[in-house]
A = this chain, B = another copy of it.
Amino acid sequence: MNVQKVAEVIVNYSTEVKEGDKVQINTSVLGIPLAEAIYELALEKGALPWVNISDERFEYLWFKKARESALTWFPTHKLQEIKNTDVWVGIRAPGNTRLLSSIAPDRISLYRKTMEKIVEHRVEKTRWVIINYPTNALAQEAEMSLEEYAEFWYRAVVQDWEKLSQEWKKIAEKLEKTDEVRILGERTDLSFSVKGRKPVVADGKYNLPDGEVFTSVVENSVEGEIYFDLPSTYAGKFAQGITLRFRKGKVIDADAEINKELVFSMLNTDPGARRIGEFGIGLNYRIKRPVKDILFDEKIGGTIHLAIGKSYSETLGKNKSAIHWDMIKDMRKEGEIYFDGELVFKKGRWLI
């Protein structure tokens, strides 16, 4: 595992750190080795880096014991800090992915709401990137040894992103000119319109690994049925073998092989949760199987995903919801995608 090469991707490509940049690096204790390599590179460029180290035990105690007055207290100095930041690096290196299993979800969402303004400022005003750092907790979710996970992670992250980006732009350009998308596959025949929407190429600028073209859909246009064979994780829980049936853009029927309850409870969150917020295409062919981590799974080369719930403004999406849940379909065995009737994808490979 060559941490140095990963740091170079982050500093030189993703965030393009330059002299004088104020660089905020966030990591949990286990991610310190990667933070160190990024910090050193930033210093060598004449930037102004600092590192915020967190430890999960404080996160757990916070959600377990903080009073409501604490969960709603806005730390103005953290807003000042993000306003004083040009480049923001977030390293996810959990010691335990199920840390918050026993915490009431409304406490977590209350605190998220308190901190919303800081996250918004980061997303809108800084050059930010989120990356994992291999830990046993992540390897365990992926059903790998730490060594296997680290190798897998490294190959998915260290790539020629500029070259890949050029290739993926062709798909995005073709998609932008398309009205109707049709998806055929195992137990699947789904159509929707993407007319007037803006496809985005996710090429390692904000996520590492990356590899995705995503857009929003015309909200009322979705018709048909789709079967998602890969596991869909949400906040430490997961469902699998989900089927959704649509009429006029709305989910009118659903089923799942594992955790049907989760699917229905999510669909019933709010009206927007029954509509599609995102259509995404996985393009990272070094990610070959799901690791129960959406940062990776939605990017598996040869898959597509739909998210129920909130759409992103950069795709010109209009759907609103408190949730955004990505569901992934493997298209490598028998999938086909048509853009306005033209076959553009077959069995995991793009024909564009």
Contact residues of A with B, CB < 8 Å? 20, 29, 32, 35-36, 39-40, 43-44, 46-48, 50-55, 57-58, 61-62, 65-67, 69-70, 73, 75-77, 80-81, 83-84
Interface of A is mostly: helix
Q: Separation in Å of the A45 CB from the closest CB of chain B?
A: 10
Neighbouring B residues of A51 by C-beta, 8 Å: 54-55, 58
A57 touches B77 (CB 8 A): no
If the complex has contacts A32-B55, A58-B36, are A77 and B81 also in contact, measured as CB distance less than 8 A?
yes
Neighbouring B residues of A32 by C-beta, 8 Å: 29, 55, 57
With A20-B69, A46-B69 already in contact, 16 other A-B pairs whose C-beta atoms are closer than 8 Å: A36-B57, A36-B58, A36-B61, A39-B58, A40-B61, A43-B61, A43-B62, A43-B70, A48-B75, A50-B58, A52-B52, A76-B80, A76-B84, A77-B77, A77-B80, A80-B80
Q: Which of A58, A66, A69 has the most CB of B within 10 A?
A: A58
Neighbouring B residues of A61 by C-beta, 8 Å: 36, 39-40, 43
If the complex has contacts A43-B66, A77-B77, are A53 and B55 also in contact, measured as CB distance less than 8 A?
yes
B57 touches A43 (CB 8 A): no
B70 touches A48 (CB 8 A): yes
Closest 5 CB pairs of A and B: A53-B53, A77-B81, A80-B80, A43-B65, A77-B80
Neighbouring B residues of A43 by C-beta, 8 Å: 61-62, 65-67, 70
Neighbouring B residues of A76 by C-beta, 8 Å: 80, 84
Query: A46 touches which one: B47, B50, B53, B67 (CB < 8 A)?
Result: B67
Cα distance, A317 to B140, chains bound together (Å): 62
Neighbouring B residues of A75 by C-beta, 8 Å: 48, 50, 84
Nearest residue, chain B, Cβ from A43: B65
Neighbouring B residues of A35 by C-beta, 8 Å: 58
Neighbouring B residues of A57 by C-beta, 8 Å: 32, 36
Neighbouring B residues of A66 by C-beta, 8 Å: 43
Cα distance, A53 to B46, chains bound together (Å): 24
